[in-house]
Amino acid sequence: MEKMRCCWPLVFLLLIQKVSLQDIQAYVGETITLPCLNSDKALQGEITVFWRFRDTSTVYDIINSRASFDEQEASFRNRVEGFPAEWTKGNFSIRLKNVTTADGGTYTCFIPNISAQTKVQLTVKDRPVPPTDSNSRNSDVRRRPDHILLFFAFLLGCSLLCA
């Protein structure tokens, strides 16, 4: 227990990392979910949410509780799907199909009513092996390697601090 005490600053750092950095990795051709959750009580009535890519291009808009594709960037056409049934639960996540390396970058989910924004960093890599049926579908979020790295950084930090 005594030994654990010197690790607290590191635990804190790890927690900060977890909330502020959403990192998603995918291979070309996969379908991914970009998460955006908000349970703010001030969100009542009609909801408006803007999804942006690299701060400028429009990925997906929810305007007055309706999906709007008017401003959508051509490169995202027919590739983005929202989940209207989830909106009342504060879940404004979207699904992006058939990702390409050009999709890599920062996505922002902005909720003007409460000035809230969530950022997601997407990295798209070429497949190391030709796609097979089992790994081509439902790829989704691959966080594990990051967490393992963080865990080792944590252990290393602990052993340095406590030595």
Q: Quick one: which of 17, 88, 100, 101 contacts ligand NAG (CB under 6 A)?
A: 100
61 Cβ partners below 8 Å, 6+ apart? Answer: 48, 49, 50, 51, 67, 68, 69, 70, 71, 72
DSSP 45: S
The answer to whether residue 123 forms part of the interface with ligand NAG (CB under 6 A) is: no
Helices 144-162 + 8-20 axis angle, to 10: 160
Shortest reach from residue 103's CB to ligand NAG, in Å: 10
Piece of 17-25, 37-45, 120-128, 130-138 that binds ligand NAG (CB under 6 A): 37-45
Applying CB under 6 A, does 37 fall inside the site for ligand NAG? yes
Please answer whether residues 96 and 80 qualify as being in contact, where contact means their C-beta atoms are separated by less than 8 angstroms.
yes
Rounded-to-integer distance, Cα 37 and Cα 42, Å: 14
Residue nearest to ligand NAG as judged by C-beta position: 45
What is the phi/psi pair of residue 73, to 5°? -60, 140
> Does 113 sit near ligand NAG (CB under 6 A)?
yes
59 vs 68: CA distance, rounded Å: 10
Report the C-alpha gap between 2 and 13 in whole angstroms. 19
Q: Which of 8, 46, 131, 160 binds ligand NAG (CB under 6 A)?
A: 46
Size of the site for ligand NAG (CB under 6 A): 15
Stretch that binds ligand NAG, among 18-26, 42-50, 66-74, 124-132 (CB under 6 A): 42-50
Considering beta carbons, is residue 95 or 119 the nearer one to ligand NAG? Answer: 95
Task: Work out how close the CB of 13 gets to ligand NAG at its nearest, in angstroms, rounded to a whole number.
Answer: 25
Binding site for ligand NAG (CB under 6 A): 33, 37, 42-47, 83, 86, 91, 93, 98, 100, 113
